[in-house]
Amino acid sequence: MKCREVVELMTDYLEGALSPQDRERFEQHIAGCDGCRAYLQQLRLTLRAMRSFEATPIPERVQKELVQAFRSWRLTGSP
């Protein structure tokens, strides 16, 4: 496996979608290749960044209206 191909398998690897043989070849390559290891780490950190987007809080007005709708559904069966 060449670095050029390995980088295209990284999502399949992270998703657990490689066949056992490909997985083994992938891991062997990664173990001996600083470049691909760095690239994989960059991808992992990219995922981490996307998962740490600050969550926009729900506006108070919207929350009030939704809770109102929820209560009215509980009472009457429609929001």
Partner 1 sequence: MVESSSPELEALKRGDEATFVDLIQRYHGPMLRLAMAYVRDHHIAEDVVQESWLTAIKSLHRFEGRSSLKTWIFGIVINLARARRRKESRLLTFTALLRRDDPDRPERTVDPSRFTAAGDWRAIPHQWENIPESTLLGREAMQRVQAAIEKLPPKHREVIVLRDVAELDAGPVSELLGISAENQRVRLHRARASVRKALEDYLG
Give least dist CB 59 to partner 1, A. Answer: 7
Q: How far is the CB of 56 from partner 1 (least distance, A)?
A: 5
| Residue from the set 19, 21, 52, 76 that interacts with partner 1 by CB under 8 A | 52
Q: Sign of dihedral through CA atoms 11, 15, 20, 23?
A: positive
Q: Work out the number of other CB atoms within 10 angstroms of the CB of residue 26.
A: 20
**Listed residue (32, 42, 8) closest to 22, CA to CA:** 8
Q: Check residue 28 for interaction with partner 1 (CB under 8 A).
A: no
What is the closest distance, in whole angstroms, from the C-beta atom of residue 20 to partner 1 in the complex? 17
